[in-house]
Each structure stands twice: as C-alpha cells, then as structure tokens.
Amino acid sequence: MDNDKSNIRALLQRYKEGKCSREELERLHKALSNNSDDVDKALWESLLQEVDTTKLNDQKFEVLYQKISSKTRIKPQAQKVKRLISFWAAAAVLIICSFGLYLYNETLQKSTLDTPQNTKLDDVMPGSNKAVLKTADGSIIVLNEAQDGIIMGDEITYTNGAEVEQVTETRDEMEVLYELSTPNSGTYRVTLNDGSIVWLNAASKLIYPSKFSSHERKVRIEGEAYFEIQKDPRRPFKVTSGDQTVEVLGTTFNINAYPDERVVRTTLVEGKVKVGQNGAFSSSVYLHPGQQSILKQGSEISVKEVHLMAQVGWREGLFYFDETALADAMLQISRWYDIEIRYEGDVSQTYFYGQISRSKSLKNVLNILEEGNVRFRLAKEKTKNVLTVLSAQ
C-alpha cells in the first residue's frame, strides 16, 4: 500500500510541475479511483493545492473546486461509506477535468490573450475646449485648451488676444485654406475674417479661407456647427455640407452633418436661408426661424418645425432632449464623452425629455437618464471607454 501511495505522490508531483504525459494522467486517475483509505487526506489536500498553484489557474478551476468542495461536505447523518464514495468521486472528477484543461492549455491561454479584458470604469469627465488647426502648408497646431477660440485677421490670435504660434501664412495669397477640427469630447470656435463666428461641436471640421474673395464667402463643414453670419449683401455666405449648400446674407443657424448619420439637418434660428441640394435632384427650399431642413442620401429636402433648443442646446452647454430617442441621445453622449456605445439584451425604445448640463460628468448624466427605464454599464476595454446600454429589467 505504501508503494501505491508513493507512486501516487510521485505522479501528483509530476502533475503539479506540468510534466505528466497522457499515460501518466490515466494511471493517476486509475490509482485514485481504485484506492480508498490507502491514500490519506494529505494526497487530497495536495491535489487541491495543485488547483490553486498550477499554471492552469483558469477561473474554471475555481468553479470546479467550489462544486467539488460542496459535494464533499457530508451532512452529520450521512454514513461513512457515502463520505468515502463522495471523496474519491470528487478526486476522479477533478483529475479528469484538469486533464482536459491540461491538454488544451495553450488554446485556452491564446483565447484569454485574444479576448478583451474589461475593467470597471467609475466615471468619465465631460468634454472641453480642444481643437487642432491645419495650416496651408500642412502644419498641425494643437490649440490652447485654456482658450475657447481663435480669431482670423492679419495675425491669428486667441480670443484673449494672444498670438497663435507656429503659423507660417503667406500674407500675399488670397483664400489660403485652413482646417479647424475638434476631436470627440472637444469644442472650439473661430471668428472668420469677415467677423462671422462659427462654433464647432465635438468631432467636427471646418474648412475655410484666411480671407474671403470679393464676390462670395464660402466654407465647408463636416460634423456639427453653429453659425452667426455677418451681413454683407455683396457677398453671400455659402456653407457646403455633404450634398447640400446653404446660402445666406446674414443670419444664425445650425448645421448637423455627421458622416456616420448620413443625413444633413439645417436649423434656422434667425433670419432666412436658402438650402440647396447638389447633384441629381438640384432642389432647394427656404427656411424660416424654427424650421429645419432634412436631407437624406438619395432623397429630396424635407422641412419641419422643430424645438430650437433641442437642436442648438449644445451651443448653450446643454443636452436638451425633446422626445429624443435613446439612440440619438447616445450619439450625443458618445461624441461629448469620447466613449463607445454598445447595446446588450432587449433594450426597449425610450424617449427623453428635459435638459442636462454638458459640464456634468458622465456618471451624473447616466444617473438622470436611468429614470427613463434604461440602465448602463461603464467599463474600460484596453484604451477604450465603453458604455453598454442594458435593459431595465
């Protein structure tokens, strides 16, 4: 019997060191299955220790250990024979399962490495003043986050008068193009050469000249921007976005033209604008304050009345919801907090009403939105922040 015990101990040691062959594992299983009191409790404890210390420390081991441990806890009225059977049955199950994991160790390790590891994320701070300026020669200038905008003139300055450094513009050239862009969670503004002001929302881009020509003022927008245009009857102001062009003399309006939404929304706040469609349809409409034109790819322009604050609330530092669908609200949050949105389970359609300050942290915003029968899970996946929308049930 001592020889059997010695052989089992030797096999357990090789198993612990990860050196057991398939044949040795089968012998170990057979030896444990055929023995009763000949193998003392120390062997069982060694086996359990192996589960904790081996390289095969997958979470499945812990689950298996808990199941086996619960099966080996014998009630006081149970007979001794049942205790012995449970003991060795548990040992056999553990060896067999460990054997399978041992054979597929490399596959499991690779799978673990390839699977993104999520960690809980407590909160995300709101966006702020962030933008880069691309000059005519291709230089990229990261603009000062302590400032909220730049002013185009004989020199390019911040709104406080400080000069923007590293700009090497050729002053004699007309219509030198600049590109002002904001990242996710960024916002900035630019005062153009004619005095017009453009505010960029997150993940947006404005392409504009350093000086406008004598017959027109033309810019291009991608993303979302709020315009306050100086009147100049001699030079109409034109904004191109996607497949449309907005033409104005002097007015205030908002354009939402994010490429991933495949729709361009133009909302008039003051004045009057003409919204023209480029391409095959070549249609156009005139907007009055409180109206919004909608241009979808492959369709003609449509017009509807809208709640202005729901469209331009971002300019006032607000998330303003007026029967705003969950998906639309998540798009706004995604860009402002630079976070990826995912959906899990059967998430019902939800609409939001009211306003929330964009200066709040994401957690505070989510706490408010959860009153609308929806839940969220916030996590960090490698270098990416992820917000998962969950069913409220």
Tell me: the pLDDT tens digits for 248-263?
Answer: 988 999 999 999 888 9
What is the Cα–Cα distance from 15 to 50, expressed in whole angstroms? 8
Query: pLDDT tens digits, residue range 341-371?
Result: 999 988 888 999 999 999 999 999 999 999 8
In a domain, 362, yes or no: yes
- Residue 299's pLDDT is 84
What are 19's two structure tokens? 């050196």
Strands 374-381 and 118-120: antiparallel
Would the CA dihedral through 254, 258, 259, 262 be positive or negative? negative
Query: pLDDT tens digits, residue range 7-28?
Result: 666 766 666 566 666 667 667 6
- Residue 170's pLDDT is 54
In a domain, 120, yes or no: no
* Domain boundary residue, one of 114, 133, 152: 114
Distances (CA, A) of 2 to 21, 41, 84, 197: 23, 14, 19, 91
Strands 340-344 and 157-158: unpaired
To which residue do tokens 């909160």 refer?
123
- Residue 295's pLDDT is 93
Q: What is the mean pLDDT of the chain?
A: 79
Question: What domain range is 37 assigned to?
Answer: 2-114
Determine whether 152 is exposed, middle or buried from the number of CB atoms within 10 Å of its CB (0-12, 13-18, 19+).
Answer: buried
What are 225's two structure tokens? 């921007």
In a domain, 38, yes or no: yes
* Domain boundary residue, one of 71, 93, 114: 114
Determine whether 360 is exposed, middle or buried from the number of CB atoms within 10 Å of its CB (0-12, 13-18, 19+).
Answer: middle
- Residue 280's pLDDT is 54
* Domain boundary residue, one of 114, 130, 149: 114
**pLDDT > 70: what percent of the chain?**
67
In a domain, 349, yes or no: yes
In a domain, 262, yes or no: no
Query: 182 near 188, Cβ under 8 Å?
Result: yes
Q: Which of 35, 40, 44 is nearest to 65 (CA)?
A: 44
Q: Which of 187, 268, 186, 258 is nearest to 227 (CA)?
A: 268
Residue 345's CATH number: 3.55.50.30
Query: 126 near 358, Cβ under 8 Å?
Result: yes
Distances (CA, A) of 374 to 64, 79, 102, 329, 356: 35, 53, 43, 12, 17
- Whether residue 316 is predicted with pLDDT greater than 50 in this model: the reply is yes
- Whether residue 97 is predicted with pLDDT greater than 70 in this model: the reply is no
pTM of the model: 0.68
In a domain, 306, yes or no: no
In a domain, 309, yes or no: no
- Residue 168's pLDDT is 62
Top mean pLDDT of 43-57, 106-120, 343-357 is at: 343-357
Would the CA dihedral through 163, 167, 168, 170 be positive or negative? negative
- Residue 55's pLDDT is 39
**261: which DSSP letter?**
G
- Whether residue 107 is predicted with pLDDT greater than 60 in this model: the reply is no
Query: 13 near 23, Cβ under 8 Å?
Result: no
- Residue 45's pLDDT is 46
In a domain, 283, yes or no: no
Give the count of domains, the chain: 2
Query: pLDDT tens digits, residue range 191-239?
Result: 999 999 999 999 999 999 999 998 999 999 999 999 999 999 899 999 9
- Residue 339's pLDDT is 96
Query: Between 78 and 246, where is the model more confident?
Result: 246
How many CB atoms neighbour CB 357 within 10 A? 12
